[in-house]
A and B are shown apart, each in its own frame.
Chain A
Amino acid sequence: MLSKRLYDWIDLRIGAREIVKKELTGYLLPKKINEWYSLGSVLMVIFGLQIATGMLLMVYYVPDPEKAFKSITFIMNEVPYGWLIRLCHAVGSNMMVAVLLLHMFSVLMMGSYKSPRELNWLTGFILFCLIQGISLTGYLAPWSQLSFWATTVATNSAAAIPVIGPYLVEFMRGGKLVGPPTLGRFFALHVAVLPAVIAALVGAHLFLLKRTGISTPPSGVQQSRNPWPVESYRYESHPGGIPFFPNYALQDLTSISVYFAVFLAVVFFAPNFLFTPDAFVPANPFQTPAHIKPEWYFLANYQTLKIFPSELLGLSVQVAAMTLLALLPFLDRSPERNPLKRPLFLVCSIGGILIWIGLTIWGHYS
């Protein structure tokens, strides 16, 4: 058969069979692995799709305040399937943040961040911040009233930082107010700097995942306490576990299909779900629309700044919360990973999530 001969030809040159055995068919996962573990693969697919649609958008998009809005209108109304490419990119960016939050939630609940996976958590946390950054910088690109004023509100938050705050805001914007220099630097960050940094960090995240092995889910299987001697390197193998390919690859594929069902449902049936009427008006730096808000995932931060009597206090609370989250695996050192056996953790994490949701809703309606 031609395909077998071709495979033999490649195998002889690059050792394909060995790679497949080591990385796919012989890569064993814990028997009771669940669907939550596939969210990382879903995120990789979303990231890939964002890159592909972003490259396509750059064919027609012009990063110039005079032309940006017109070029987006042109893409949406004139270019064949331009609306599809653009909506996939816009909806995809929001979905990426949402799925990333779910991924972090599952890692939190299953205690997968614990020793020796502190760096997996840390790289993931930095990726979370960078994804928010790439979404923020991309939000300005259409140069609509919504993007212009949401960026004004979002960048203005940094002014609460003592001493350097006002300068930092000016530095981010490239001027005192959001304007043409802001679009230039946000565009460079959005299409060049941040994608490269994110890709590199995804590589580091995967390297760490490969090196330590997949963590065993805390529930479902008779759990033996994992006496991990972190002084020396040990790969967490799963003898008798299920192979990544084809078994778990099928779960990945299932999760990706479910994701696409939800994603395409929004793209085709509720495309304006994310856009307020201000998204269809070109930016006017002299006319602030009423009730302008940042993107949904910044609403909690936005509301926190508003409820504290001083912005500095509001900012300090956020910095403290983010630092706590980033350093969680270094603070929470108990080996127990079952959430039902960690009442304090469960109360704090569920409480934190509820506060975040509450602040987001409050921010939306305030």
Chain B
Amino acid sequence: MENDSRRKFLGVCLAGATVAAAAAAGYPVIRYLAPKSGKVGTDKLVFATSDIPDGEAKFFEYAGTSAVLVKTNAGALLALSAVCTHMGCIVQWEKDKQDFLCPCHAGHYSPEGEVLSGPPPKPLAKIPFTVADGKITVG
């Protein structure tokens, strides 16, 4: 009986040591492979208003993902995420139709990011921006 409990105790110690060793080896590997955390590209971005003529769009990288600034023919300025809410493809600006098309599954969005047709379940996310002294500040 005493032998049995001693054996069990040693077994538990061995299992504990194995788990500790696996954790000690696994943690650095997970940290090594993990994507960079923290504020990636969330700095404010500044564009000149002249960079975006009426009816055109400017795509850029923001907060580690794709975003777009669009100025409609009517002169309205909007900042949106360029990532389609359906499968994550990047939407394209159709200047002639004044809308966004996702080429993957033909989702259509209005310049405001609202879904017009196709499979996207949600509108494009809006990104905060300010306009002052001829400059557009995104973020």
Contact = CB atoms under 8 A, between A and B. Distances in A.
Interface of A: 56, 59, 79-82, 84-85
Nearest to B21: A260
Contacts of B29: 56, 81, 85
Interface string B26-57: 00110111100000000000000000000000
20 contacts: A56-B29, A56-B32, A56-B33, A59-B32, A59-B33, A79-B32, A80-B28, A80-B31, A80-B32, A80-B34, A81-B28, A81-B29, A81-B31, A81-B32, A82-B32, A84-B28, A84-B32, A85-B28, A85-B29, A85-B32
Interface of B: 28-29, 31-34
A59 B33 CA distance: 8
A79 B30 CA distance: 11
Contacts of B32: 56, 59, 79-82, 84-85
Contacts, number: 20
B22 to A, nearest CB: 13
B75 to A, nearest CB: 44
A85 B32 CA distance: 8
Nearest to A59: B33
Nearest 4 CB-CB pairings of A with B: A81-B28, A80-B31, A81-B32, A81-B31
Nearest to A52: B29
A80 B32 CA distance: 5
Nearest to B31: A80
A271 B39 CA distance: 32
Contacts of A80: 28, 31-32, 34
A80 B36 CA distance: 9
A177 to B, nearest CB: 35
Contacts of B33: 56, 59
Nearest to A60: B32
A56 B30 CA distance: 11
A260 to B, nearest CB: 9
A339 B31 CA distance: 51
B94 to A, nearest CB: 38
A80 B31 CA distance: 6
A45 to B, nearest CB: 12
A79 B32 CA distance: 6
A81 B30 CA distance: 9
A56 B33 CA distance: 8
A18 B29 CA distance: 36
A82 B28 CA distance: 8
A81 B27 CA distance: 9
A84 B31 CA distance: 11
A59 B34 CA distance: 11
Nearest to A57: B32
Given A56-B29, A59-B33, A81-B31, 10 more contacts: A56-B32, A56-B33, A59-B32, A79-B32, A80-B31, A81-B28, A81-B29, A84-B32, A85-B29, A85-B32
